[in-house]
């Protein structure tokens, strides 16, 4: 028996309930973990609301990131044993392998022995943010030294991961955020420049900062009207990678900018990295090396207890956090 978080209907944070359920032992090629910490993601809000790319079967569990101690392993599992401290690469299905639980089971191939210097809270904040940013900036865009990259929603965990990855490569990260309230924190986190999109002319500021070379990569989680000024500031042959859709406003297709600059506009889900063993192996190597050399440092906005899961989701939806929200068990 173990406590898990489930919801029996779609809705706001209040639909989340802590329940005690029977937990089956791990099947072949699976690993069961005594969970010590969870990393929260916006995808879990979407699943709870019924607006995610995956459909929940009610009652449903949820959760994509966890860290803890291996409790048991199924048949045909090599390299992992009870007592190992591990963290979880987000599974392709959080309905099939939900993380919000005292005991959680995952496919062995997504269980990672995390570096010994990482505590459980930090380890639970690693994989979604850095895999998402790595896949876009390194794997797809081939971001290089001296490249200018514009990062929207920069105070999110993925945005901050993108800033750190850009700096590790030697690129120039430009952070976009709605207001100037987080300007100092973003500069302290490594952003070379910060643009407050609700207070400044995005196009003029991007042109001023990037100059004649332009912005080669845009890493965008927002969409909406900003597509026009963002693409106008891009360099010829630049690439815009869209991984979100936070703006409630329509997103115009910037036809003139795309044609005249030969731009690439590409949708992206982190699943394409996770489901490809070779690409995932390269990503894991880059991230683990970055954690070891200190270039990659998860920023935790706030920590909640497991019993405060509803409050944690309310905070997640407030959009006021700077970095990752973690829940401890």
pLDDT per residue, tens digit, the chain (329 aa), is 899 999 999 999 999 999 999 999 999 999 999 999 999 999 999 999 999 999 999 999 999 999 999 999 999 999 999 999 999 999 999 999 999 999 999 999 999 998 778 899 999 999 999 999 999 999 999 999 999 999 999 999 999 999 999 999 999 999 999 999 999 999 999 999 999 999 999 999 999 999 888 999 999 999 999 999 999 999 999 999 999 988 889 999 999 999 999 999 999 999 999 999 999 999 999 999 999 999 999 999 999 999 999 999 999 999 889 999 999 99
Q: In whole angstroms, what is the distance from residue 120 CA to residue 222 CA?
A: 30
Token output for 241 = 């990678």
User: What domains sit in the chain, N to C, each tagged with a CATH number?
Assistant: 2-126+298-328 (3.90.180.10), 129-271 (3.40.50.720)
Burial class (CB in 10 A: 0-12, 13-18, 19+), 45: middle
Q: In whole angstroms, what is the distance from residue 75 CA to residue 170 CA?
A: 44
Q: How many degrees, rounded to 5, is the angle at CA 89 between CA 267 and CA 191?
A: 60
Q: Is 111:31 a contact under the CB 8 Å cutoff?
A: yes
Quick one: pLDDT at residue 2?
96
Quick one: pLDDT at residue 128?
97
What residues contact 68, with CB distance under 8 A and at least 6 apart?
Answer: 33, 34, 35, 36, 37, 85, 86, 104, 120, 329
Burial class (CB in 10 A: 0-12, 13-18, 19+), 249: exposed
Quick one: pLDDT at residue 117?
81
């Amino acid at each position: 028996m173990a406590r898990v978080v489930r919801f029996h209907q779609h809705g706001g944070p209040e639909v989340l309930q802590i329940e005690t359920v029977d937990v089956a032992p791990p099947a072949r090629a699976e690993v069961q973990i005594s969970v010590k910490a969870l990393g929260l993601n916006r995808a879990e809000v979407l699943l709870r609301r019924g607006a995610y790319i995956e459909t929940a079967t009610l009652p449903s569990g949820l959760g994509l990131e966890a860290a803890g101690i291996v409790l048991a392993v199924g048949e045909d599992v090599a390299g992992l044993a009870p007592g190992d401290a591990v963290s979880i690469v987000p599974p392709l299905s959080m309905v099939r392998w939900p993380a919000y639980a005292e005991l959680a089971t995952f496919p062995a191939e997504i269980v990672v022995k995390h570096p010994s210097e990482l505590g459980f809270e930090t380890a639970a904040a690693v994989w979604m943010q850095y895999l998402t940013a790595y896949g876009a900036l390194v794997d797809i865009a081939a971001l290089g030294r001296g490249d200018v990259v514009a990062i929207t929603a920069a105070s999110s965990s993925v945005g901050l991961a993108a800033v750190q990855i850009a700096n590790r490569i030697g690129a120039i990260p430009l952070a976009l955020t709605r207001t100037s309230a987080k300007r100092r924190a973003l500069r302290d986190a490594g952003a070379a420049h910060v643009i407050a999109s609700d207070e400044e002319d995005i196009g003029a500021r991007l042109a001023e900062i990037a100059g004649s070379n332009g912005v080669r990569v845009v890493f965008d989680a927002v969409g909406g009207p900003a597509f026009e000024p963002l693409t106008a500031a891009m360099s010829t042959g630049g690439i815009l990678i869209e991984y979100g859709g936070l703006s409630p406003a329509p997103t115009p297709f910037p036809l003139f900018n795309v044609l005249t600059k030969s731009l690439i506009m590409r949708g992206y889900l982190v699943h394409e990295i996770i489901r490809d063993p070779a690409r995932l192996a390269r990503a894991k190597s880059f991230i683990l090396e970055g954690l070891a050399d200190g270039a990659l440092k998860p920023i935790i906005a706030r920590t909640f207890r497991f019993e405060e899961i509803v409050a944690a989701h309310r905070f997640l939806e407030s959009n006021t956090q700077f970095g990752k929200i973690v829940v401890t068990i």
